[in-house]
Structure 1
């Protein structure tokens, strides 16, 4: 009989690529991961890994087993949701991940609503970039999370992760010292989020669609800080609706025909879990009506 815990290690190796990364993600030592994968190979009776020096790759049999593992883990998630429904109601810890502007602008109201409806549910929030959400969900560090994508930077599907349709959509604004079209800032210095984030990729794509590449001066992962830098003439920025609630004097906002869309993410099979459903309902009440209809 194949052990589910070892199958999970193989699944993470397929996603993360190295034993060291699996160990870090799941709080194991690298030697423990290697030992458990060796035991899994003996259980399977066929080679699952190919070792070349320090690198490890999955064999065709290993890749097929990962595909079955995804289905097994989804079924277990569904079973857990059904058992949770059999209890009296949502209770216990609910680990929520969200990006910074949602934490500030939406989650306080959503958590207050959640507490009033389900006082036995203990919500715990972690600020996390959407790029790190899939790994945190698979590792069990989060139960549900808010992720976003942009019109020109759609989200990539992740094995083992399910997404709802867009919960809300925010317009994007060009923030500058004076109002004007995007194309007028091809020679301006730009303020963006750090490389590797969806927000940074969005600025690159939007500027490229206008016929130029942005000359990035500052890399700051906080929209309030970006706006503060715009206000003192340090450059221009693209900021979504939730990021402009504290716009300082001297900054002009030009609305663009582009949106940032937020979805709820959770482990595949977990949509019916009462705690996840309760959070989704509470979040809906916290989203302003003009964003829900965007």
Structure 2
């Protein structure tokens, strides 16, 4: 009989690539992960891993087992959701992930609604970049999260994770001086090709979006500052330190002297959860609370 916990380790190895990464994400030692995967191989009766020095790759049998593991874990999430629905009332922790601008603009009102209707729940909010959400969901560190993607930085398809659209925002070019005449995004961005740029830190979707948008306009941005907080970005724009791309939620409390040029590109936000968990009453309740908390101009 194959052990579900060991199947989860194999699935994580398929997604994360190294035993060390699996161990770090699940608070195990690398040797413990290796031992459990060796036991899984004995249970399976066929080699699941190919070891070359310190590198490990999945065999075809291992890759096939991962596909079955995804289905098994999906059904377990469905079973958990069904059992939760049979209980009277919602209670216990609900681990929520979010990106900073949504944490400020949407999450507080959603939590007010959630706790008014389900006082037994204990929401626990963590900020993290959307690129890190899938790993956190699969590892059980989060139950639900807000994620975003952009026209020039689409979110990848993540095995074991489902999403539901929540809202769409306009994107703006923020500058301290007027730009060129209005026109296409290519024309607007191209006007600032020689300017210094303020972008998010590398390996974030916001960084990929800004660089991708500039490249689509025919140039590579000359990056001066790397900042993840939009309020700080706009403060630097106001100080004449460069230009930046900022979503609608990031333009709250706009500093004096900052000009915004609306672009046709958008940022899309969705709710993400483990595959099979969409019917869990706590996931459904928080999703409903988020929808109710959205400003009118953002609601789908």
Normalised to the residue count of structure 1, the TM-score between the two structures is 0.98
Partners of 1:258 and 1:161 in 2: CA distance: 25
Does residue 194 of structure 2 align to residue 195 of structure 1?
A: no
Instruction: Give runs of aligned pairs for residues 47-62 of structure 1, distance below 5 A.
Output: 47-62=47-62
Q: How far is 1:159 from its partner?
A: 0.5
- Alignment gaps of 5+ in structure 2: 180-187
Partners of 2:274 and 2:128 in 1: CA distance: 16
Does residue 20 of structure 2 align to residue 27 of structure 1?
A: no
Instruction: Give runs of aligned pairs for residues 82-231 of structure 1, distance below 5 A.
Output: 82-164=82-164, 166-180=165-179, 181-231=188-238
SS in 1 for 2:245: strand
The one-character-per-residue Cα deviations of 1:59-101 (angstroms, maximum 9, x if unpaired) are 0000000000000000000000000000012211100000011
The one-character-per-residue Cα deviations of 1:229-286 (angstroms, maximum 9, x if unpaired) are 0001000000001101021111001111111000000000000000000000000011
Partners of 1:275 and 1:17 in 2: CA distance: 32
Aligned residue for 1:4?
4
Aligned residue for 1:261?
268
8 Å CA contact retained: 1:144, 1:265: yes
Q: How far is 1:209 from its partner?
A: 2.0
- Alignment gaps of 5+ in structure 1: none
Q: How far is 1:23 from its partner?
A: 0.3
Does residue 235 of structure 2 align to residue 249 of structure 1?
A: no
Aligned residue for 2:43?
43
Q: How far is 1:152 from its partner?
A: 2.2
Normalised to the residue count of structure 2, the TM-score between the two structures is 0.96
Query: Once superposed, which parts of structure 1, at least 4 consecutive aligned residues long, lie more than 6 Å away?
Result: none
Does residue 33 of structure 2 align to residue 15 of structure 1?
A: no
Partners of 1:105 and 1:291 in 2: CA distance: 11
Aligned residue for 2:280?
273
8 Å CA contact retained: 1:89, 1:274: no
Partners of 2:297 and 2:241 in 1: CA distance: 31
